[in-house]
C-alpha cells in the first residue's frame, strides 16, 4: 500500500510562513469480485462478462484507477476468476492495483479478507476505504468523490439512491406474504456501492460482528449500523445507472448504459 504523506505539525511549519502541507491519507478502493454469481450463471462468471466491449470488472477497476484521489486498489477474487483478473490487472495500465487477494464464501468474508490484508500492510486507522461491487461497472466519479468527501465529516458513508417506488415491509400470513407497514418514502433509499469507511471504524465493526455467527449481512453498511449503532452512516448520491448486474436479464440494460456512456 502506498505511504501516506505526513502533514507538517504546526511546530514544523517553516519560517518563511509557507502553508503547512495538507495531510493526505491513503484512499484505498477494494473491488469485491469473489462472488459465484449463482443468480446469474455460475458457469459464466458475471465479473468477466463483456459489456460495451470490455469485462464488467474492467469498468469497475477503471473507475477507481482514473480517480486522481484514489491511491491504492485491492481486488478480491475467487479461484474461478483469479487467472483472468490477474491477466487484466497485469496488462500494464493499472499502476494503483497493489494486490489480488482471495475472498471468502460470503460477501462479508471477502471484505474481512481485505481488512486483514490492509491491517497486515499496516495502513493507518484513518485511511479511507471505498468498498465496491465489481459488478457495478458504471459507478460515477461524482459518487466516488462524494464518498471520499463524506469521510471528512463521517466515519462511514454509503452511496444510495432515493426510492421512486413506495416500499412495503411484509410479513408472513400462512403461505402468503402480506403488507405489514408502508414506510414514509422520503426515508427510503436503495443501497449501492461504493460504501466508504475510515479503516479503523470498519475494522472495529467487523471485529464485533465476528462474535455473531448468525450474522449474514448483504453489505458493509449493515455491519456498522448493527454493531456500531452510534456511528452515523452518511448517504452519498448514487444513480440508477450504478446498477448491479445480478441476473442475465440485467445485461441488455448494462449494454445500453455502456453505449450511452460511449456516445
Which residues bind to ligand LQXTBERG, rule: CB under 6 A? Answer: 107, 133, 191-193, 218-219, 244, 246
Nearer to ligand CTP, 182 or 210 (CB): 210
Nearer to ligand CTP, 36 or 251 (CB): 36
| Minimum separation from the CB atom of position 134 to ligand LQXTBERG (A) | 10
Nearer to ligand LQXTBERG, 67 or 192 (CB): 192
Edge-to-edge, what's the strand order for the sheet holding 189-198? 97-102, 72-77, 27-33, 128-133, 189-198, 156-162, 233-237
Rounded to 5 degrees, what angle do the CA atoms 122, 124, 127 make? Answer: 125
One residue of 26, 37, 55, 238 binding ligand CTP per CB under 6 A? 37
Q: Per the structure block, which three cell numbers stand in for 74?
A: 485491492
For residue 5, list its beta bridge partners. 24
Q: Which span sits near ligand CTP by CB under 6 A: 90-98, 106-114, 160-168, 178-186? A: 106-114
36 lines the binding site for ligand CTP (CB under 6 A):
yes
191 binds, among ligand LQXTBERG, ligand CTP, none (CB under 5 to 8 A by kind): ligand LQXTBERG
Give the closest residue to 242 by CA, choosing from 147, 151, 156. Answer: 147
Question: How far apart (Å, rounded) are the C-alpha atoms in residues 221 and 157?
Answer: 8
Residue 12 burial class via C-beta count within 10 angstroms: exposed 0-12, middle 13-18, buried 19 and up: exposed
One residue of 63, 135, 150, 235 binding ligand CTP per CB under 6 A? 135
Residue 80 burial class via C-beta count within 10 angstroms: exposed 0-12, middle 13-18, buried 19 and up: middle
One residue of 27, 29, 32, 191 binding ligand CTP per CB under 6 A? 32
Is 134 within 8 Å of 32 (Cβ atoms)? yes
244 lines the binding site for ligand CTP (CB under 6 A):
yes
| Minimum separation from the CB atom of position 246 to ligand LQXTBERG (A) | 6
Amino acid at each position: 500500500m502506498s505511504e501516506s504523506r505526513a502533514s507538517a505539525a504546526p511546530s514544523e511549519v517553516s519560517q518563511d510562513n509557507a502553508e503547512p502541507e495538507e495531510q493526505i491519507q491513503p484512499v484505498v478502493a477494494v473491488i469485491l469480485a469473489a462472488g459465484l454469481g449463482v443468480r446469474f450463471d455460475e458457469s459464466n462468471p458475471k465479473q468477466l462478462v463483456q459489456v460495451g466491449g470490455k469485462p464488467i470488472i474492467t469498468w469497475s477497476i477503471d473507475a477507481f484507477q482514473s480517480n486522481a484521489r484514489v491511491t491504492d486498489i485491492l481486488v478480491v477474487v475467487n479461484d474461478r476468476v483469479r487467472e483472468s483478473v490477474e491477466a487484466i490487472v497485469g496488462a500494464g495500465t493499472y499502476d494503483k492495483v497493489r494486490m489480488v487477494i482471495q475472498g471468502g464464501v460470503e460477501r462479508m468474508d471477502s471484505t474481512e479478507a481485505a481488512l486483514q490484508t490492509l491491517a497486515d500492510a499496516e495502513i493507518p486507522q484513518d485511511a479511507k476505504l471505498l468498498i465496491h461491487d465489481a459488478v457495478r461497472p458504471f459507478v460515477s466519479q461524482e459518487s466516488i468523490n462524494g464518498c471520499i468527501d463524506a469521510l471528512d465529516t463521517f466515519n462511514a458513508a454509503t452511496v444510495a439512491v432515493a426510492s421512486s417506488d413506495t416500499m412495503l415491509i411484509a410479513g408472513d400470513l400462512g403461505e402468503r406474504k402480506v403488507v405489514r407497514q408502508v414506510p414514509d418514502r422520503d426515508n427510503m433509499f436503495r443501497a449501492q456501492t461504493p460504501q466508504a469507511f475510515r479503516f479503523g471504524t470498519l475494522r472495529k465493526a467487523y471485529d464485533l460482528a465476528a462474535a455473531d455467527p448468525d450474522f449474514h449481512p448483504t453489505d458493509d453498511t449493515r455491519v456498522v449500523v448493527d454493531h456500531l449503532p452510534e456511528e452515523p452512516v452518511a448517504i452519498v448520491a448514487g444513480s440508477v445507472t450504478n446498477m448491479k448486474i445480478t441476473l442475465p436479464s440485467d445485461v441488455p440494460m448494462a449494454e445500453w448504459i455502456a453505449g450511452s456512456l460511449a456516445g
